[in-house]
Amino acid sequence: MTPENRTLLLDFEKPLFELEARINQIRELAEENNVDVSEQIRQLEARAVQLRQEIFSGLSPGQRLQLARHPRRPSTLDYIQAISDEWMELHGDRGGSDDPALVGGVGRLGGCSVVMLGHQKGRDTKDNIARNFGQASPGGYRKALRLMEHADRFGMPILTFIDTPGAWAGVKAEQLGQGEAIAYNLREMFKFDVPIICTVIGEGGSGGALGIGVGERLLMFEHSVYTVATPEACAAILWRDAAKAPEAAAALKMTALDLKELGIIDQILLEPVGGAHSDPLTAASILKEALLQNLETLNQMTPGQRRELRYQKFRSIGVFTELSA
């Protein structure tokens, strides 16, 4: 492992890293001294595989959040370039803005013309600053709406990829109408005739995620999160202590398993053992297969059936019980 990758190591991954480092050390010593330790190495490698499965099958909500925020986790552009046959990015909201935190364009998926768009985070500090850490401005949501209207006009399915801690919450964003831009997107997305499939690929936070999150199908990667507020914000509000973020993460029910059980999402996309960042091409292949399967089903419906499915999906979210006096 390179020094750069070592700094990106998560706490719960350290036992696995130490075991793999020991295996490499034994292998190098054996080669230098011309000693056959293939059987011992085979046993240690089997143990490493077992340990990896144990670690990643029993992650807490807080640990899944760490994976969702991993700087090497595949981004919207990574997935688009991996799954599309052709791809052309389009720019601008036709109002003077071109937000780099929300990207989109036209492409082909499995021979079908589609519009793909989503939040885009950066790879390093400089790139993250340029992308505003994936927190879209009002212009970003208006650009997304322009692309979705284009898709609806020309009968192209809409595929959105959600990966944001939330919409940009700066004073300038409010001055430019952040709340109005998101609300307008919500209303308009319910009207579109074409299929809409939304996928949470990393961190889905608050209205920033919902601004491109209305569709007949909501998919979610295994180690992604989808929540009304970040655990840090939730902890600061409830306990006035951001250090209680792990407790907030558990209480928010923000993991894919929780949300599938609650009926919020439709499908969990399993990730390679070790997370999507450990094998991005396999993760992209899993995503592409799921999108094609869902598109095949949705394309068999009429526009009216798709709009009704979309409407009923969101009407059924949120269950309450009325207690009599």
* Residue 321 resides in a domain: no
Q: Which residues 6+ apart lie within 8 Å of 295 measured at CB?
A: 109, 110, 112, 157, 195, 197
What is the model's pLDDT at position 316? Answer: 87
* Residue 103 resides in a domain: yes
Residue range(s) defining the domain that contains residue 158? 65-315
What is the model's pLDDT at position 304? Answer: 95
What is the model's pLDDT at position 325? Answer: 64
Is residue 27 located within the same domain as residue 169? no
Prediction pTM value: 0.87
Per-residue model confidence as pLDDT tens digits over 85-118: 999 999 998 988 899 999 999 999 998 999 999 9
Q: Mapping DSSP to helix (H, G, I), strand (E, B) and coil, where does residue 127 land?
A: helix
* Residue 5 resides in a domain: no
Q: Nearest 5°: phi and psi at 219? A: -100, 160
Please report, for the domain that includes residue 78, its CATH number: 3.90.226.10
Q: Which of 58, 80, 111 is the last residue of a domain?
A: 58
Is residue 116 located within the same domain as residue 177? yes
Q: In total, how many domains does the chain have? A: 2
Is residue 84 within 8 A of residue 108, CB to CB? The reply is yes
Taking the C-alpha atoms of residue 147 and residue 126, their distance in angstroms, rounded to an integer, is 27
* Residue 301 resides in a domain: yes
* Residue 248 resides in a domain: yes
Is residue 70 located within the same domain as residue 54? no
Is residue 293 located within the same domain as residue 184? yes
Q: Which among 163, 162, 155, 224 is positioned nearest to 198, based on CA atoms?
A: 162
Taking the C-alpha atoms of residue 309 and residue 56, their distance in angstroms, rounded to an integer, is 34
Q: 165: how many CB neighbours lie within 10 A of its CB?
A: 25
* Residue 180 resides in a domain: yes
Is residue 236 within 8 A of residue 192, CB to CB? The reply is no
Is residue 179 located within the same domain as residue 210? yes
Is residue 297 located within the same domain as residue 174? yes
What is the model's pLDDT at position 7? Answer: 52
Is residue 227 located within the same domain as residue 198? yes
Q: Which residue stretches of the chain have pLDDT < 70?
A: 1-7, 325
**Bridge partners of 156?**
none
Per-residue model confidence as pLDDT tens digits over 13-25: 777 777 777 777 7
